[in-house]
Amino acid sequence: MGGFLAPHFFAMSKHLLTPVRLGALALKNRVVMAPLTRCRADNPGYVPNDMMVRYYAQRAQAGLIISEGTIVSPQGRGYPFTPGIWSDEQVAGWRKVTDAVHAAGGLMVCQLWHCGRLSLPEYHNGQPPVAPSAVNPKWQMFSVTDQPDTVTPQALSREAIKDIVGDFRKAAANAMAAGFDGVEIHSSNGYLFHQFFSAQSNQRDDEYGGSHENRARFFFEVLDAVGEVMPFDRVGFRLNPMLNRFHGLHVDLDTVPMWESIVRRANDYGLAFLHLTEPLSPKQIEDTPGALSDVGAHFRPIARMPIISNGGLDQAKGEARLAANLCDAVAYGQAWIANPDLVERFQHGAPLNTPDRDTFYQGGEHGYLDYPTLGA
């Protein structure tokens, strides 16, 4: 398309296309690429490959790319062919990705991930996965060929928790060695940190269970450890307080107070951002006492750090949230899968490609590298 932009396109992008600073990260626009599991690291070492280099470089016009969930240790695996960041080979693979993104003018942080009980024995040599307590989420997880039921996990010992803290510290150091501009701690969506936060999955009676402070202890031990190897203003974290009737957890009357306590304590760290997920639809939280219809509106007055908003937002809704000062940037997921030139499409008011859900996790280049761009 040519250089002319209709006035209503300017209005729709008044905020989204402007620069913003999240801690030490200077974004050229406020259109963030959300972390998106794509299961393309289909090699024995779960090493980022050349296909992933091309995929992320295609999307470097984002103000910030948050990598797909990246496993911090073999113990943290929960899905097939998700990349890791515990080995030298993985660090070298990610270095190729970040070099390509930087060469294209982009910024990229690594999402650090441990699945906890949302996993299967086949990923752990036949042993059960780990969790704060031996509580089965009673969910189905993806294997290479099927969707088996979860099993009762093994409750972590204090010593094992300390080992995982060390795994996150090493993963953060590896992320810096791999050329990432920072990290996001994946502390949402029912995975290991979320399992510690919720009294439904955390039934411990030691210093890691019970009170809000205790259930958040593991998270802040990890945050402190990450801060030993990188500046806190390059660290963000993700929360999904309204995860409900999903991954074996639900919202209850303790949810909002618990998550408020986490954010208030995190305020003292000078972090780059808080990444908040909104309910995807009203149905997600219907008939749920204590639920929030707008997570950002609730947490904006509490958080003393920039907020990235995510969750079923389109261009107009993202612009509206920025205009209302509910967030500082907006993360898009499926829109980035199908539109590697999403920022350009927002700029020109161009229609978006429709994502092919059948190719989200199947592997290969189709549905990964071959979506058309405006200039194609």
- d(C-alpha 154, C-alpha 169), whole Å: 23
Spatial neighbors of 75 by CB under 8 A, at least 6 apart, are 114, 124, 129, 130, 164, 167
Query: What stretches of 197-269 adopt beta strand conformation (E)?
Result: 235-239
Strands 20-22 and 25-27, bridge-based pairing = antiparallel
- d(C-alpha 351, C-alpha 174), whole Å: 39
Strands 108-113 and 64-66, bridge-based pairing = parallel
Could you count the other beta carbons within 10 Å of the beta carbon of residue 49? 17
Residue 306, both tokens: 């920039």
- d(C-alpha 17, C-alpha 9), whole Å: 11
Spatial neighbors of 47 by CB under 8 A, at least 6 apart, are 41, 83, 84, 87, 89, 90, 92, 93
Catalytic residue among 191, 332, 368, 371: 191
Backbone angles phi, psi at 99, to 5 degrees: -60, -45
Instruction: Indicate if 191 belongs to the active site.
Output: yes
Catalytic residues: 191
